[in-house]
Amino acid sequence: MGIAYKDGALLLTLSQRQQKVFEIYDQIAMAAIGHPTDIEKLRHVALDMASVIGFNYSDSDVTLQQIVHFGLGPTVKTAFDEIIRSPFIVRVLLVELNGSGGGAVFYTVDYDGVFNKSEGSGALAGMLEADRLMGRRLSGVDTHRLSLKKALEEALQAWATGRWVGNLDEIPQEKSELEKAVGEADLDDLLRKELEDLEVEVAILQRSRSGKCKYRILSGKEIEASIKAYRA
């Protein structure tokens, strides 16, 4: 789950100690779900492209749009189209800080190379229905006013929405029926149960951070402040 806040943007996931969030460049970060080997391959594609552009031109020339449009998107689509190669079993979520105006841009890259852009938040799950409802969960949030702690809490609830949908044995055909069921779900209870076995991983792009690199992994202490309500 990705969401902007007033001083930057964050990427959040829950996992069993498998790293899923990575730094790509000064103001660009990446998260992914899928096969660990494929995640690592695509991480290197993004890293290599960003490094080459930054070295040959300048840091300001490295943009998320270039990395997705001319790097990750074509790489994933080529593997998907070629009969003699196995496709990448992976879905990718990337974020880049906007300029001084604030906010953040998110891109998702699917297993077939199709990519989509969004402002303010981005969602990635095991199925498209979960993606949609995770995004809908944050659609009314004013990200420009969010503190880091509140953004983390909102991202947790959005993640829980996707997890709840993914746990369903059968997805209702009607969107309104699914949305109603999610609205009635006890997401706090779901998070309490998931946190017994899973660890929260959060990385941020912090606009006020000194230096060119804005990427920072949140410490356990910082994360615990937002999840302690689910530990009881």
The reply to whether 82 falls in a domain is yes
Query: What's the pTM?
Result: 0.93
Q: Phi, psi (5° rounding) for residue 217?
A: -90, 130
Question: Does residue 60 have a pLDDT over 80?
Answer: yes
pLDDT (mean) for 11-37? 94
Q: In Å, how far are 52, 155, 219 from 227, measured between CA atoms?
A: 39, 11, 13
The reply to whether 231 falls in a domain is no
The reply to whether 64 falls in a domain is yes
**Which CATH number covers residue 113?**
3.60.20.10
pLDDT top residue among 60 and 12: 12
- Residues near 12 by beta carbon (within 8 Å), at least 6 away in sequence: 1, 2, 3, 21, 152, 155, 156, 159, 200, 201, 202
- Residues near 114 by beta carbon (within 8 Å), at least 6 away in sequence: 73, 77
Tell me if 226 sits within 8 A of 191, measured CB to CB. no
Which domain does 29 fall in, by range?
2-222
Considering its fold, how many domains does the chain have in total?
1
pLDDT band at 173 (very low <50, low <70, confident <90, very high): confident
User: What confidence score (pLDDT) does residue 212 get?
Assistant: 93
Residue 156: how many other CB atoms lie within 10 Å:
25
pLDDT (mean) for 136-161? 94
